[in-house]
Chains A and B, each alone.
Chain A
């Protein structure tokens, strides 16, 4: 046991050295194509990727997939069980594949429209946190210690601030403002309120997720930069007089990018969950716009009489988070040279 571990340890050290050598001698193109090849051979990764692609397509064209509008109520059919036929005349011939909620709205259609919210949160959250967090972390990690210290203390303060309080404050402030006399509202407020209304409350969710998601990325990026800036290739670039911008972009960014992509992929499920969580406690997407979290909240009230209602939104939420987690994990394993040939 111990000799075989030693052997594999030496082998690992060797492959690591070889990889390091290879990446300093040429652009590490080989690593990326290797990674891709490894990912395609993992059935779980392929299934997850296809599932997410399907969700994106559904989110882009919900009207094409949904049998009914998401807010069409039919009181005769309230709490209809999955697979039952509609009883009202106007919906004659319609079958509730996943049942109907307590207002008689088609669950399948609401689930499909709910995809929009989750996917928007996933990609906008990832984009915002990546853009702000990575830029901030790069600057902080490469700046003078005094600047770095100040930048990190700012992160500490925002980190110490209760996210939930921030969101509620924003929400209360803007709803209170929207009830005021329109002539007293400033232009910016009007734009924000308009934006929020047109997205069914989604704008606040974006603000909330954006306000906190970049912190972790900034910390991670800074840590990575601190690790690499002492290394020979950075010192060499500094020695030949490369400008800071070039060192950051050409030398540091490509090296730190790998772990950041993995971290971001694994952070996406938490964004999706944050939205569901906010909608569950009534601070997220406003009804009647459907979101999976809001649907779980609705169904929870009827758990005794109609337990099937909670099943599908819960399943959708978990499967989506699962797909992102599988993908992130697989990318991490594929990037880690230690995992090669296991």
Chain B
């Protein structure tokens, strides 16, 4: 088990180097630099680049960056002068993570029960309506749902705040009320995916031989469904958490823009157009670390749900 985790972590090192290396090279290959404006004289641009070490060979810059990165220093921002990247990227990341966590929570709370009920009542009205709502859910993306909820609950009914984000220190209700609409917008489609996955894999499991064996042993229907059925049915659902986390990451970009949330999403676009090299690198690092960690988490969950996998390795 621990060996598996270590092997996965070692595997992620070359992937990480490749991803950051490619970004580093392409970023610097882009024509134009961070200090290029029509007014700045070339001599001053050279001087500025020397201050930030941008005149050094690319390899040297990359190695320096890697060394700083291991100490969690992402370097000074070139667009927001005088501030380090981590000083304003980390608070933004925190907000995005909270939004993502709320969305995931919402998705699991709706998706799992809906999928289980649909599978157990296969063919009945509960199944049909759940399946229908789930198809609607995957067909109404955040781009459509966001403005709709915003218009209805914030503008028309005036039940919830219009935009922005509140921290927990502002009180529980302000915090939650700011999070509700964005979390639902981001989580609705994902809850539909989870519901469909759960339903499909539970349906498949329900007719397996070991389910019959469990029943013939005299176990109650409840134990059979939960211990034998659900536990096996959840494997495909857990596998899908990796892609889902990536979906939440990019999905939060639109949601943050719609609800004017000061999350990480906006830096994706602005950092590249302003040639803020340290910022771009930080965004790429955070993204790939999250993906690696989620996949690692998925692998670990596997072993808990399906002990066979742990023994095989």
Contacts and interface: CB of A to CB of B under 8 A. Distances in A.
Interface of A: 1-2, 5-6, 8-9, 12-13, 153, 156-157, 159-165, 168-169, 172-173, 176-177, 180, 216, 269, 273, 276-277, 280-283, 293, 296, 299-300, 303-304, 307, 310, 314, 317-319, 321-322, 325-326, 329, 338, 342
B253 to A, nearest CB: 7
Contact of B141 (A176, A273, A329): A273
Interface in B86-137: 122-123, 131, 135-136
Contacts of B2: none
B207 A12 contact: yes
B143 A276 contact: yes
Contacts of B280: 165
B143 A317 contact: yes
Nearest to A322: B139
A329 B144 contact: no
Contacts of A12: 207
Nearest to A292: B143
Contacts of B138: 269, 321, 325
Contacts of B269: 168, 281-283
Contact of B272 (A160, A168, A296, A314): A168
Given A281-B253, A296-B144, A172 B30 contact: yes
Contact of A326 (B135, B143, B151, B155): B135
A321 B143 contact: no
Contact of B144 (A6, A153, A314): A314
Contacts of A299: 147
A283 B265 CA distance: 14
B72 interface: no
A342 B123 contact: yes
Given A172-B30, A322-B139, A303 B155 contact: yes
B221 A176 contact: no
- The prevalent SS among residues of B at the interface is helix
B contact residues, range = 35 or more
Contacts of A5: 206-207
Interface stretch (B171-179, B180-188, B287-295): B287-295
Contacts of A2: 215, 221
Interface stretch (B21-29, B53-61, B73-81, B302-310): B21-29
A318 B141 CA distance: 7
B287 A157 contact: no
A321 B141 contact: yes
Given A157-B19, A164-B253, A173-B30, A318 B147 contact: no
